[in-house]
Amino acid sequence: MTSSDPVRAGMLLDLAMRHAVTIKVAIDQLTTLGADAELHCLSVRLLELAFRAEPESKRRDMGDAP
């Protein structure tokens, strides 16, 4: 499936990338604090999001999409 609105898709990507920088800063600070439980929680959530961010065709190849 191709993007039907490339301008909106670009804006959403930019927004997500800015939040990714914020998450990186939080990870760095949590690491400095030695906050292992919080880092683990964040790691699990990011893995879920990374899987969700895969295009549907790739998810289907992995057996997740119908």
**Which sequence spans correspond to the domains of the chain?**
6-52
Tell me the two tokens of residue 55: 């295009």
Is the alpha carbon torsion for 54, 60, 63, 66 positive or negative? positive
N-to-C CA span, the chain: 15
Whole-model pTM?
0.75
Which whole number is the average pLDDT over 37-52? 97
Cβ atoms 59, 65 nearer than 8 A? yes
**How does pLDDT run across 26-35, given as a tens digit for each residue?**
999 999 999 9
Kind and range of the H or E run holding 1: none
| Rounded Cα–Cα distance for residues 52 and 12 (Å) | 15
**pLDDT of the residue at 4:** 82
